């Protein structure tokens, strides 16, 4: 089996036959009012990480990581609204081997010209394959989904879909992996506990 890169969540790694293949792009699609950022945090645990933020300032993002002294603090860079594809491309080209890139969220980039956006994704994927690295693209599934979301989900290798629902007096989070190019998509959802960290319900209630 080809070596895999860890998601930082051991139970999820086992379900994915060891993790995610090097050189992959992953779209993490989730509602804005969810704890999806906890999943992004787990992805920074295993490797050096470049964290590109498009809506929060660098200090706010970095402070969240510094609060947990046991965690690796990623390099955080802000992507401004002026020519965001150019800014993001210059930064990801600095990505070293066996690293993780996070773009949080992707929506700003997905509102750019479709042709330029496709070229950006092609360049990103080429760089990831050349460095055996991994990219996590946080895609907000909110009230206004960018027109280029279909391009993102078609281009990436893996899609993680986080669904958050309020059922009675409980908040239920379920993670689906409907697409896994070069691997095995999961036939069932995974029930998550997203509070201060990520926990997976390993009982039989994962349908």
At 158-176, the pLDDT tens digits run 999 999 998 888 889 999 9
Query: Mean of the pLDDT values across residues 171-199?
Result: 89
Q: Is the pLDDT of residue 70 over 70?
A: no
Q: What pLDDT shows up at residue 154?
A: 98
The pLDDT of residue 162 is 96
In whole angstroms, give the CA distance from residue 64 to residue 167: 29
Whether this model's pTM surpasses 0.85: yes
Cis status of the peptide bond prior to 95, with omega within 30 of 0: no
Mean pLDDT lowest for which of 9-13, 109-113, 137-141, 145-149? 9-13
The strand pairing partners of 191, in sequence order, are: 174
56 pLDDT above the threshold of 90:
yes
pLDDT at 207: 40
């Amino acid at each position: 089996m080809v070596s895999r890169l860890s998601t930082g969540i051991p139970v999820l790694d086992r379900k994915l036959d060891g993790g995610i293949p090097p050189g992959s792009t992953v779209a993490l699609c989730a509602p804005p009012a969810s704890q999806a950022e906890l999943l992004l945090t787990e992805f920074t645990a295993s490797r050096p990480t470049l964290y590109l933020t498009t809506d929060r300032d660098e200090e706010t993002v970095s402070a969240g990581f510094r609060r947990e002294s046991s965690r690796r603090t990623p390099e955080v860079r802000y992507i401004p609204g002026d020519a965001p594809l150019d800014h993001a491309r210059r930064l990801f080209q600095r990505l070293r081997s066996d690293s993780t890139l996070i773009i949080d969220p992707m929506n700003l980039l997905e509102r750019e010209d479709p042709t330029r956006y496709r070229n950006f994704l092609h360049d990103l994927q080429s760089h990831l394959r050349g460095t055996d690295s991994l990219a996590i693209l946080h895609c907000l599934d909110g009230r206004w989904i960018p027109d280029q979301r279909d391009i993102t989900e078609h281009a990436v290798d893996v899609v993680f879909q986080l669904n958050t629902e309020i059922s009675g007096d409980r908040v239920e989070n379920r993670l689906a992996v409907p697409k896994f190019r070069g691997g095995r998509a999961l036939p069932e959802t995974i029930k998550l506990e997203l509070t201060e960290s990520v926990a997976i319900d390993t009982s039989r209630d994962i349908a």
